[in-house]
Every structure is written in structure tokens, then in C-alpha cells.
Amino acid sequence: MSASSTEDLFAAPGEEAAEGTVYTVMGGDWDEVAGGQAERDDERIVVNMGPQHPSTHGVLRVILELDGETVTELRSSIGHLHTGIEKSMEYRTWTQGVTFCTRMDYVMPLHNELAYCLSVEKLLEIEDQITERTKIIRVLMSEWMRIASHLVALGTGGMELGATTMMTIAFREREKIMDFFEAVTGLRMNHAYIRPGGVAQDLPDHGLQLLKDTLKSIKKQMPEFGKLAGMNPIVRSRLIGVGHLDLAACMALGVTGPLLRAAGYSYDLRKALPYCDYETYDFDVPVRDEADGYARFLNRVDEMWESVKIIDQCVKRLEETLGQRVMVDDPKIAWPAQLSIGSDGQGNSNEHLNHIMGQSMEALIHHFKLVTEGFRVPPGQAYVPTESAKGELGAHVVSDGGTRPFRVHFRDPSFHHLQALPALSEGGFLADVVVNIATLDPVLGGVDR
């Protein structure tokens, strides 16, 4: 039996009446049910996609209103993954804040750290004290992070389209970058490596050789991925002409990064507002004007090659600055002070511990106060935008003169890009919603912070 009315037979006592028509199906042949629905000439369906869905790149809920297979309305529902990171940072010292913000967009943690630390350093007015080697290492790690993030976007996007080999190849190459991160920072993700005043530690003794080996391997294997991604008939048929978002729409919705450049606008903060001496590096900004999913896809492939070009230049500069400090020469800010690693590559070395615990009472007191209380930051506010793998990422930090931030708020590109999802999807097919989310490449850790 099939019936339609405004009464919901299965509503709980006292539950509010449902909005619109309620359809009740109780047994019967499915063909009869479908035929009765067709006679009513009403194919409006509301579907929940997520919040736990493999194609939403995180805990994202998408409410879809469908007319058959056509999307008539799309609404993004966020907040299911809220971590309270920005608020939590108000209760920790300035340096401890890095441990929180690195966990926002967990696919590109080093970009989160860099944006935050640059803003803190601007408030401290120590930008001119950051050593050359520190800047080189920050650029190096950021560009590796860009490649790793793009590999996740392209690999998972390919898998969702049915090109599963793209996933295996992308993650194979990403694994090499993760190994390099682990060798330098001790962790594969959530590194807390970039800190106000510099970085936690220099490259390990074998770091430069490992860098060269990783770079050589990536250069050898990336053409395979480019050919597979660019010439794959599945990818081409599913992306060309799908999810069109022109330049005017990008500007209106605050879209930046690869999405904006795929719409024809050559805007890259590494060129427009250089930081970490990016103006001294030779690289191009890939731009396309098709403004569809395929253009966004290929733009990321091109950007990875430009990152390789930058990393190549970092190798030579690291050789020239060997032995240079990687933290400002200010014991009131440098945290932890004069850290040296143990012989096993983990923990503090015996020499460092002996100095603090057994040789200098002043060193012990200073280390204790710096770690527990932190340093003071002059009152004021600062915002430094950076070009992350996904677009403009910046941290607006506010200080009241204390050892903790008064307020920290991040401009995360994924949050802004989700605004574009309705513009990409409405009027298109249900199957293209997955494509559009993949080419936007949102990460909900950065959205729900």
C-alpha cells in the first residue's frame, strides 16, 4: 500500500509535523510503488550524503535535493568534526600553539605551522632575525608538503572516479615524502616542527643525502603519474566540462589557490606577497582558463613540478649554509633552547641533559621558565597570508602582551572553497557531486577548527 498525505504515520508522539508531503510505503510490489510515484509526477528527493561518506574527504554532510538524477539544491553542513583548536590555543603558550594548529588541515600540517609562526614573528618584530638556513628549511618542507597534499588530492580523486591505480601510485610517491618528514621531524604528520623563531632542529646528519635521494626518486616516477592522470580516458570523460566555476564566481566566493589559477587568474602569494625569501627562487605559476574539474586536476600536476624545481634550488642553498643556526639567537624566545638530539635520533642528547641538569643552575631555571611560562609577545595583532597547497592560508593572531594568545583565527582555504560547492553542483548530475568535492580538495580538519 502506498499513500501520500501531510500526516506522518511513524512520527513520535509530540513530534513536529513534517514539512511537505509524506510518502508512506507499506509492502506491495516495488514496480507498483514506482509506478504510483511516476503518476504523481513528483520526483523531488532529499538525500543526505554523509556526514560519514568515503567521498566527502572528511566528516562533511551534504544535503542534496534531487529531481531525478539532477541536483536542484545543495547545502553543505559543517561542524561535525569541530575540535575547538582556535579556542584551545588561548590557553597555551605561543609555542605550544603550534602543536594545536598543526592538526587542523592534517593533509598539510606544515603549512598550518608556517602561517601561524610567521604571524607570531611579525608581532614579535623578529622577522629580520630569522636565519637564512631557517627560511630555506621552511621553504623546503613547505614544497614537499605541497606535493604530498596534491598527491592525496589526485590519488583519492582518481580512486573515486574509478581509476584506482592513480591512488596506489600517488600514495607510493607520497610515502617517500613521509619518510623524509619522519627523518627530519620525527613524525609523519602533526609535526610541530616550525616554531616561532625558527624550526625545532636542523636536518639530521644524513638529511641532505636523503633529500637528494628522495628528490631523484620523485623526479623519476612523477612522469608516470602525470601520464596516467592526464591521459586516462576515465579521468578525462569525468572531469572535462564538469564543475565549471569561472573567474567571477571564484572572486565572489573567496576561492584561491589551484582553483583560482585554473580559472585563469595568476595569483600566488609566493609571488604577490613573498615570504621566506620566495622572491629569490626561480619558479612559474601554472595557469589554465578552462575553469572545469580537468583544469583544476592538471593544475595540481603542474604545480608539483614547480615545487620540485624549488626543492632543487633548496639543495644547493642548504649545502652553502651548513652549520648555520636554525633558531633566532635570543634565549628568551628560542624554544627549546639549544636542543640537541640523542645518538639514536630520538630524545635529547646526554650532553644537553647534563648541561641543564648537572652543570648550570641558570640553564635549568631558564629552560623551566621558558617551557612552562613561555615568552611574552607585545600587544597588537598581525596577519601573514601564505600560499598553502589549497590556497590562501593565514593566521590572525592577537596579543594582549601576555605569554598566551588573546585570540587566534585562521583563514583556511577549505572553509571558503566549500561555499563554491553549490555553484559547482546545482544543475548537474548527482554523480558529479563526488567529482566536484574531489576537485575542490577540502579537508574538514581545517574547516571545523
Lowest mean pLDDT among 215-224, 344-353, 358-367, 388-397: 344-353
339 pLDDT exceeds 50? yes
Q: What is the mean pLDDT of residues 114-132?
A: 93
pLDDT at residue 187, rounded to an integer: 86
Helix (H) / strand (E) containing 195: strand 194-195
Specify the 3-state DSSP secondary structure of 245. Answer: coil
81 pLDDT exceeds 80? yes
Q: What is the mean pLDDT of residues 82-110?
A: 91
| Angle at 194 (CA atoms; ends 192, 196), nearest 5 degrees | 110
Spatial CB neighbours of 161, under 8 Å, sequence gap ≥ 6: 234, 235, 238, 239, 434, 435, 438
249 pLDDT exceeds 70? yes
DSSP 445: H
pLDDT at residue 340, rounded to an integer: 59
355 pLDDT exceeds 60? yes
Please list the helix, strand and coil fractions of the chain in percent, rounded to the nearest 5, in that order: 50, 15, 35
4 pLDDT exceeds 50? no
Residue 218 CB coordination number (10 Å): 22
10 pLDDT exceeds 80? no
Spatial CB neighbours of 140, under 8 Å, sequence gap ≥ 6: 211, 311, 314, 318
Per-residue HEC secondary structure of 421-434 comes to HHHHHCCCECHHHH
163 pLDDT exceeds 60? yes
Lowest mean pLDDT among 55-69, 197-211, 354-368: 354-368
6 pLDDT exceeds 60? no
Helix (H) / strand (E) containing 74: strand 70-77
On average, the pLDDT of the chain sits at: 84
Q: At what angle do helices 109-124 and 132-161 cross, to 10 degrees?
A: 150
1 pLDDT exceeds 50? no
pLDDT at residue 224, rounded to an integer: 81
Q: What is the mean pLDDT of residues 165-177?
A: 89
Cell of 74: 545543495
DSSP 17: P
Spatial CB neighbours of 353, under 8 Å, sequence gap ≥ 6: none
55 pLDDT exceeds 80? no
> How many angstroms separate the CA atoms of 211 and 67, rounded?
53
**pTM, full prediction:** 0.84
What DSSP assignment string belongs to 147-187? HHHHHHHHHHHHHHHT-HHHHHHHHHHHHHHHHHHHHHHS-
Residue span(s) of the chain under CATH 1.10.645.10 come to: 85-335+374-447
The separation between CA 103 and the C-alpha centre of its own chain, rounded to angstroms, equals: 10
Share of residues in the chain with pLDDT > 90 (%): 38
CATH of the domain spanning 85-335+374-447: 1.10.645.10
